[in-house]
A and B are shown apart, each in its own frame.
Chain A
Amino acid sequence: MSDLRRLEVSEVGDVTVVRFVDRKILDAANIQELGDELFALVESEERKTLLLNFTNVEFLSSAALNKLIILDKKVKAVSGKLKLSNLKTEIREVFAITRLDQLFDIKDDEADALAAF
């Protein structure tokens, strides 16, 4: 994919590993762009096995969570797999409070996540 602004994408075997450029995922325009880039991975590039690595992320709002929920639906619609890893304590707490840790498969680190596909 060309011209990615919000994501860094790499391949590890069959898994597409996605890292976020922004430390704080807040701004509405950035979140829109982030969603568009994530959705294109599934819909345009037909990638079905995705790992989102949150190493860089210190803060994300509910608007960003909504994009992840939509991504999860898109991945499930193509019978793909989506995992999350490397969430900082505060971000993990946000997933726990919202019970999104029940919706998403969250692993401690990238190696754990890759081994679990």
Chain B
Amino acid sequence: MSNQTWSFDQRIPNDTSVGRELLDELVVQLKRAEWSEHDVHGVHLSVEEALVNAIKHGNNEDPDTSVHVVFKVSAAEILIQITDQGEGFDPHEVPDPTLDENLAVPSGRGLMLMKAFMSVVHYNDKGNQVIMEKVKN
């Protein structure tokens, strides 16, 4: 990534409060790189959803596991990679929550919000790693 202004590449404990402190720092760095309020909100929400998925569903809230988090920020582009130690899942099997029959079903919205707000959302074959990219319009 050219003109990178901030990066982070570490394993963090399987704890949402640790993830949220890291998210707060990401938000600071996005604002510093002059991303708009709208984009910052979208990226914040997407990473929140991805981290909760990794910690709760991927690692089953096991305190002995960790999550590998990579952030790369520039003024034009954001790259996020989040990897858990779980068995993985098939994102294609998550029902579309916007279908009429699923509208009142209380699940499946995290993934669709990630896809809506990010330019690219890609899972590895195992389904335990998500790579998200945001490109400034």
Contact = CB atoms under 8 A, between A and B. Distances in A.
Judge: A and B partners, yes or no: yes
* Secondary structure type dominating chain A contacts: helix
Interface string A60-84: 0111011101101100000000000
Contacts of A27: 16-17, 20
A4 interface: no
* Secondary structure type dominating chain B contacts: helix
Contacts of A89: 38
B52 A61 contact: yes
Contacts of A61: 45, 48-49, 52, 110
A90 B41 contact: yes
Interface stretch (A10-18, A46-54, A95-103, A105-113): A95-103
A30 B20 CA distance: 14
Nearest to A73: B104
A63 B52 contact: yes
B48 A26 contact: yes
B98 interface: yes
Contact of A28 (B16, B44, B110, B113): B16
Nearest to B56: A28
Q: Name the interface size band of chain B.
A: 20 to 34
B1 interface: no
A72 B20 CA distance: 29
The 9 closest A-B pairs by CB, nearest first: A66-B106, A62-B109, A62-B110, A69-B106, A99-B98, A90-B41, A97-B116, A98-B109, A103-B103
Given A28-B16, A66-B107, A66-B109, 19 more contacts: A26-B20, A26-B48, A27-B16, A28-B56, A59-B45, A62-B110, A63-B110, A65-B106, A66-B106, A67-B106, A69-B105, A72-B104, A89-B38, A90-B38, A90-B42, A94-B45, A98-B97, A99-B98, A99-B103
Interface of A: 26-28, 59, 61-63, 65-67, 69-70, 72-73, 89-90, 94, 97-100, 102-103
Interface of B: 16-17, 20, 37-38, 41-42, 44-45, 48-49, 52, 56, 97-98, 103-107, 109-110, 112-113, 116
